[in-house]
Chain A
Amino acid sequence: MMEASSVGIVRPFTEVFDEPLSLACGHVLDHYELAVETYGELNTNKHNAVLICHALSGNHHAAGRYEATDKNPGWWDLLIGPGKPIDTRRFFVVAVNNLGGCHGSTGPLSVNPDTGRLWGPDFPPVQVTDWVEAQRRLGERLGIEQWAAVIGGSLGGMQALQWAVEYPSNLRHCVALAAAPKLTAQNIAFNEIARQAILTDPEWHEGHYTTQQAIPSRGLALARMVGHLTYMSADGMSDKFGRELREGSFQTDAEQEVVFQVESYLRYQGGQFSTRFDANTYVLMTRALDYFDMASAFRGDLTAAVGAIEARCLLIAFSSDWRFSPTRSREIVDALLCAGKCPTYAEIETDGGHDAFLLDDTYYIELFAAWMRQVDV
């Protein structure tokens, strides 16, 4: 493995925008704020900026720690830092919490200036194209005319691809990991189960739970459990949990109820998530996923959609990812080939499932690092 270390202690900051933003749904946001973190230094020709787009439950805290005692670093600390694939000695890395998020950017937890109350469920249904536009304005604010690379996994990969399609000359490289050109019926179905878990929670209160001093935490936890399950592979789960018991036993005279390790794990993950995530944001983010279609502005023609792309593209898929399987990445790769482009594509052999883009894997890390080293700054 390469020498790797951390970006260290980081500080988030907020960028305030007063230029109205017309959203895809027709709503106009007159004022909005974006929570941001940056790592590394912008070089003098402003040629080394890299944008990190987060997935469903991510945010702007992609690397480093706020306090030395923080238990966990940012969500992509594995890949971002000095000597890591997204090398902060070379790149100026920008990570942003998307609009509609719940970790500092304008979203359901913000005050609606028209009513003076929290947006809650009335926050406009933002889409991937809105995020890209907000990110473009953030880049402008930071003095970045062209990104060296726009990078993301899953829903983040979709943003990276949307960038390449919509603003071809504003990025030189595009990295989409475990992505898809649009969701399948099965994908949407899983998202709908997650939403229904939240919407049917007695504490939901039509989304106005905050004003009722309530939190639909059971629904949110259940939504996360379903989601989390689909991010893992069957083999990965067998290796990690098998049929091990956390509590109880199968003895006939045992008094304690049997709890499998996997049950305990999912309950813990769901419970943790419900304390750090907003239910309205979760509903909004899953809808943004469902609505995304790279080719929608091109009458469904994916080859036409990617035709304008100028960025060099890297697509990586993971063998055991059944949420966005390698076949989905291949659709994008094949469209690029049909459009006369020459992307790089790799399928990583792993049992890490959809989450593999967040996990350590020698081959994945080495390939990503090798590819990023040829990104000129």
Chain B
Amino acid sequence: MRYDLTHIMPWVAERSRVLDLGCGDGVFLRALETQRGVNGLGIELDPENLIAAAKQGINVIQQDMDRGLDNLPSQSFDTVVMAHALQVLHHPHRVLKDMVRIGREAIVTFPNFGHWRCRLYLGFKGRMPVSRVLPYHWYDTPNIHFCTLKDFEALCAELNIEIIARDFTAADNRGYLTRWLPNLFGVTAVYRIRHRTG
């Protein structure tokens, strides 16, 4: 399982209701069900992924998040998870608002475009970064909305979203650097958020 997903696992309460936006092949939701006893629901658009998710035995709704999540009632899940999907959305800000509306808490992971490799690539080569983690070119990438940690946190403030916790994964043994300068050394960002009350 991708390391941002193992990071999330402890943040999900046992036997809680979990909504996984862009659940992919359903492996993560299945793991949450077996390891944490959650009652899960996935949202997924891709037909192949839907079949894979059905094979995992998870419940999944075929739905395009970019066309809204109005059909999901407010506060109907304990945790809403969206792993590595923020950057493919047409309207990431709307989906974020929906996440904290639908769930008491939400967990978002995304690739940090402020990572030093991205900055060096763009700075020195003058071209959009292509890497092992993000292997696409600018014209064929599904990732249309990249952001840095600072960008994300600024959007949260604007949307009245409270950051409960954040964590960053580093591809190599640079944990200390990541803790020191996350926006420069964090490869993947993991945020635990909720709607700010009062």
Q: Which residues of A contact B (CB under 8 A)?
A: 312, 330, 333-334, 337-338, 340, 342-347, 349, 363, 366-367, 370-371, 373-374
Q: What is the CB-to-nearest-CB distance from A181 to chain B, in angstroms, rounded to a whole number? A: 15
Q: Are A363 and B59 in contact (CB under 8 A)?
A: no
Q: Are B55 and A342 in contact (CB under 8 A)?
A: no
CB-nearest residue of chain A relative to B50? A346
CA distance A343 to B61 in the complex (A): 7
Option from B60, B71, B73 in Cβ contact (under 8 Å) with A344: B60
Assess A342 versus B41: contact at CB under 8 Å? Given A330-B71, A347-B62. Answer: yes
Q: Are A342 and B59 in contact (CB under 8 A)?
A: yes
- Which residues of chain A are near B72, meaning CB under 8 Å? 337
CA distance A347 to B45 in the complex (A): 10
- Which residues of chain B are near A349, meaning CB under 8 Å? 47
Q: Which residues of B contact A (CB under 8 A)?
A: 39-41, 47, 50-51, 54-55, 57, 59-63, 71-73, 76
Assess A374 versus B76: contact at CB under 8 Å? Given A342-B40, A342-B59. Answer: no
CA distance A77 to B52 in the complex (A): 25
- Which residues of chain A are near B61, meaning CB under 8 Å? 333, 337, 343-345
Q: Are B76 and A340 in contact (CB under 8 A)?
A: yes
CB-nearest residue of chain B relative to A367? B51
Q: What is the CB-to-nearest-CB distance from B70 to chain A, in angstroms, rounded to a whole number? A: 9
CA distance A330 to B47 in the complex (A): 17
- Which residues of chain B are near A333, meaning CB under 8 Å? 61, 71
Q: Are A334 and B50 in contact (CB under 8 A)?
A: no
- Which residues of chain A are near B73, meaning CB under 8 Å? 337-338
- Which residues of chain A are near B60, meaning CB under 8 Å? 344-345
CB-nearest residue of chain B relative to A375? B57
- Which residues of chain A are near B50, meaning CB under 8 Å? 346, 367
- Which residues of chain B are near A363, meaning CB under 8 Å? 47, 51
Q: A312-B59, A344-B59, A374-B54 are in contact. List 7 more A-B contacts (CB 8 A).
A: A340-B76, A343-B61, A344-B54, A344-B60, A346-B62, A349-B47, A373-B55
CA distance A366 to B63 in the complex (A): 19
CA distance A333 to B61 in the complex (A): 9
Residue with the greatest number of chain A CB neighbours at <10 A, chosen from B41, B61, B71: B61
Q: Are A370 and B51 in contact (CB under 8 A)?
A: yes
- Which residues of chain B are near A373, meaning CB under 8 Å? 55
Q: What is the CB-to-nearest-CB distance from B167 to chain A, in angstroms, rounded to a whole number? A: 28
- Which residues of chain A are near B62, meaning CB under 8 Å? 345-347
